Structure 1
């Protein structure tokens, strides 16, 4: 009798997992917006086995394989490469008019501090407005924006390529490298990053070179 109960529980669990996966798959094929979701490996809390799935990568604009943990996750997971391509191959993200609600829909211009240095932004790429918002450590409020308290905050930090933004192409920028006492070129992806990010070589060298 106990054996029969165990089989019944196993059957119900398997049916539930299959049902949830079918719902996710149905949602995926009815709403292209899931192609813009970040890769989510899910978790293993429901006891399902890990398996290969595919997700649409916004940066490469291609369907990529990943190891799905079996439970949870989001709609950007497909059973096959063909399924992923069928829905997402021509996907173009909707550009948001602002950063309200999060995300990096577009690369909004960041206000400049003295020396053409970028003001501080939060984790959602929104400009931190002071004094209503507190400035990060080593930054101080200047004309309603948070600016670096001294040059070391800018020039001694390693450059950061930032994150991909839907609007605006990847752009060449310059960062100061203290080991060579010079400014070098890097590619900026359009959102976030840090203050060691200058639009021109002259701005960089004028601000940082000792």
Structure 2
């Protein structure tokens, strides 16, 4: 049981920065259609995943990628999620135009969830939210 809890915590911690990572197809040779958030274009882009390894900027559907990383992420409210962990995180506040601390429960929530204030500022900017044009 402890192993499950520890592995769940590692996955949950990785979730906050997944949109900031470069695409990583992994070391295997399969061809699995996936999507990643491309910071250069500000959109979710298709790629062929190798089937193993890689990182968590890897989504099965465009919709999942767009929900967590696409346009409007910085407009979403802080969302603790339904779980009960107490993980300090940062979210971009439209009200104040800055990145503010909140407590993340460890699961679900939304894409406006960053491990560090710097990561939050990289994605959402200071003083105004970065707006990205999405391409289908």
* TM-score of the aligned structures, taking structure 2 as reference length: 0.50
Which one has a bigger Cα radius of gyration?
A: 1
